[in-house]
Chains A and B, each alone.
Chain A
Amino acid sequence: MITILPTAKRTKPRTSARPSWEEKPTLFGQLGKFLSLCLVLGVILFPLYCVVITSFSTQASINIAGGIVVVPHGLTLDAYRQMLDGGVVTRAVIIALVITLAGTAISMVVSVLCAYGLSRQHSFGHRTILMTFIATMFFSGGLIPTFIVVANIFHGYDQYWALILPSAVSVFNILIIRSFYMNTARDLIDAAKIDGAGDWRILWSVVLPTSKAVNVVMALFYGVTYWNSWFNVLLYMPADNSKWPIQYVLYEYVNQGASMPGGGSPDIAGHAQPAPLSLQMAVVVLTLIPILIVYPFTQKHFAKGALTGAIKG
């Protein structure tokens, strides 16, 4: 029913050498391409560089720069020390990590089981169940009814599960995983069946090990969604700052500039100040770190995991 996703069918792997028929580029063309690539990379990397440098800067250095630091004059770990002292931010990081790990585990188990369950095209109820899932991609209840269901019917207000379960299943991800499993070599599965393996065994020892790329990428997708979740917190637990995960802390204390408890020292009049810039930027860096840690391991699988296969119904 639905098809997307072209598959690369290059027979020979592409080499770095210039094909013999291609003309040598002009100097002007080379320069133009080089500059535009630099521009693209610069636009992405420069803000990240500034944020990291500022988070390590001393207050004096920030004062000299008059805000965001580009050229550092003295570095310190103070901001991180202050932040990981056990205050709001430390708690928020731990909460976000737990939600991310638990959520990813739940999502992956549910999705992998479902994808495998739907991967045999002529099984009983296959089409009906599949259509039940695909229909949710076209019709949705919308924001308010979902909120009412979670908050009023299941009493999820102020509960952590409300940040996980409503978004635990992504039909799109299931369809991608499924199309991978359908391509798992039939003879491997048949051989396992002849050896007496049941479906659970086949899933665990044949299908899962042969489709690592898609599993890794999907786990990353789910993990990133949970780590980045902000709106669900706004919906279901905006009141209590001791329950916030890191993204909401980032929003409240850095983006909206609210004063951070234990963050900034009160000014002379006794009003709480927004946290110092280095501290704010340290929060930004903290939200980046888990993504940067996981990213290199999964990056090589992207094209494969995100694209391959067509979805057939």
Chain B
Amino acid sequence: MATSQSVNLVTLTDPQSAVSEAYRTLRTNLEFTALAGELRALVVTNPAATEGKSTALANLAVTMAQGGRSIIIVDADMRRPAQHTIFGVADSPGLSNALLDETLILNPPLVETGVAGLRLLPAGPRPPNPAELLGSPRMAQLIESLKQKAEIVLFDAPPVVLVTDAAILGARTDGVLLVLQAGKTKREHAARARALLEQVGARIVGTALTNARAVSDLSGY
């Protein structure tokens, strides 16, 4: 189902905006975090279902690519995939295909996003057992394979509090970035998400707050 590129990619449509500047700050902070240990496979998720983590992830990826890095987004939210819609490409073939076809582990069906240096592995057909697939040995192989193909691999994962997918992925990657939405994310959900991730040994590298009210316009600075 192809649609035109989403207006949610503010980092692409309006790179001078305060929001884009915020994403650049996020990128820089993550780069400094990376100095303390490898940070090449990063999960981006949210506590519950309303915090706009897919849009945040896409903007972060664009910002990283604009900074000259080679990036792959993996839409590992095989329950409600959104990355293909954000970038206006087909949702299949994708991750689920790669996890069930040995020949695709080394050559997963990556698609160009139209942003230089940024490629996407869409979700693929929706499996009945996404958590099981993400926990499979094949997924570990695929993560390694993707790290050979890009400097940073970003995984879009379903909400932590609702399903186990993000925790499973978090334990197999270098870190998790939690996206919280100002005024929407509930305190107890955020705390629960943190507990669930720590339980499986996932490393929370930070939280990003979206929808925060801009306090000033720095464009004249």
**A, B bound:** no
Q: Footprint of A on B, CB under 8 Å?
A: none
Q: Footprint of B on A, CB under 8 Å?
A: none
